[in-house]
Structure 1
Amino acid sequence: MISIDTKRLHLRNVLQNDVDVIFDYRNNEICARYQRGQVKDYEGIVSLIERRRIVVMPKDHIFSLGYTFSYKYHRQGYAFEALTVLTEHLHKMAPEWEFISFTECKNIFAHLGK
């Protein structure tokens, strides 16, 4: 299990007891607006967690990062904080690998760094 701490956050693999939280934000209009093909039903989320257990999915020496933060924690700098420490950790693990992260063009808050 991966575990990374910052001043305000504790990053770790997803667990089955995260189902209710994930179900809540995946079915929230604000969070779902920029998600594509995300499982939203409760049973599907349970199955997804069981299959994946980890959000970072490396392939062909590339880390492709995708993330969603609950609407309850938007606009507080958590995404920047989490992604900063996560990319630093991954660079140490695999310094020669590439990173790819996409932002939906209509998500102006992500583009503005807010």
Structure 2
Amino acid sequence: MSDEARGRRLFPDLALPDKLMDAAPDEVSSGERQRLALIRALILQPYFILLDEPTSALDPAATLMVERVLARAKEDGTGLLVVSHDPEQVARIADRHYALSDCGLAEVVS
């Protein structure tokens, strides 16, 4: 399967219209760019992805869509390191939770 075909298969999961495949950058919203960046990473089928605030520009519905796509990637064996300031998001998607403070990095035990 081509990269384009793999990418197009993710469009419905992230509520992206097919027309974005041919859109100029200035025609794409910041939230759409954020979801397209995730697709771009996932089509490479990486072993590991580092995500820094992957849903910061998204509304709650789009955030949940991204989290579902990330959960599926995790189930398929992709490792994820997600940086988030949203404790609810961390609770929904994390297997482990670490906090960074002036004292360093420490695991947060629930």
TM bin (shorter chain): 0.3 to 0.5
* Higher relative helix content: 2
Higher RCO, 1 or 2 (CA under 8 Å, sep at least 6)? 1
Output the TM-score relative to the length of structure 2: 0.41
